[in-house]
Chain A
Amino acid sequence: MDPKEMHAKIMRRVYGVWFLRSTAPLLVIEIIFFIILFGLIADRIFVEHVVKNTILASYGNPFRSLAYLTASFVRTSFAIKTVLVLIASCLVLTLRDINRSIITYIAIRRRNVLGE
């Protein structure tokens, strides 16, 4: 094994340790929360109807569907609003962590390959 190859192998292991320690637990918690919240809201909102109504309300204009969704959100109960906000937050955090993992992996790989 040449030193560069070994360096890459070590860094892959280090990345694995970092991912399992700092990102994987967060991702698991966020996904569990997401599933629980989605389960809560699924009992109260009939997703198929929401999608159907959104398409009908849009009339080919995506901005209208956005206005429809906003109006629906404003008119819904406080409990549903809270759950929807929590779902959105969960989704943003999950995407942030996935993005961070990918960026770190790319940075390590680039450093291994190009020696930057």
Chain B
Amino acid sequence: MNNTSEKSDYLLLFRGADWHKDLSPDEIQKTMTTWMAWFNRLVAEGRCKGGQSLAPDSKVVSGKMKNVVDGPYAEAKESVAGYFILTVSSIEEAAEIARECPTLGYGTTVEVRPLLARCAASEVAARQMATADA
């Protein structure tokens, strides 16, 4: 057993742009104050490396013709509103942090995703180089 367990990066995606719909300005501000205290604590504990909110005006590119349409990608309830990058010991620890999200009770969904240490594209590309060398 190791006391200093290996840490990995996880992405928390906050989904839902309309959690504030039925709240008063006072409740919204209180929730956001709680949110900032939560974020700042995670940063101070060294468990969160950064985070950002995303503006809703956006574009989506898809299809053989590379069509461009107005975003965001999903409906308001599901669209990504922001993210944190966590450095923690396990996906369970990341999920425990996600369960502390102050807007969960108001309709936000948090998605926890492991971040790969090395990007998948470069792995596949490197394997081709190795094949070519062989």
Q: Note whether A and B form a binding pair.
A: no
A interface residues (Cβ-Cβ under 8 A, vs B): none
B interface residues (Cβ-Cβ under 8 A, vs A): none
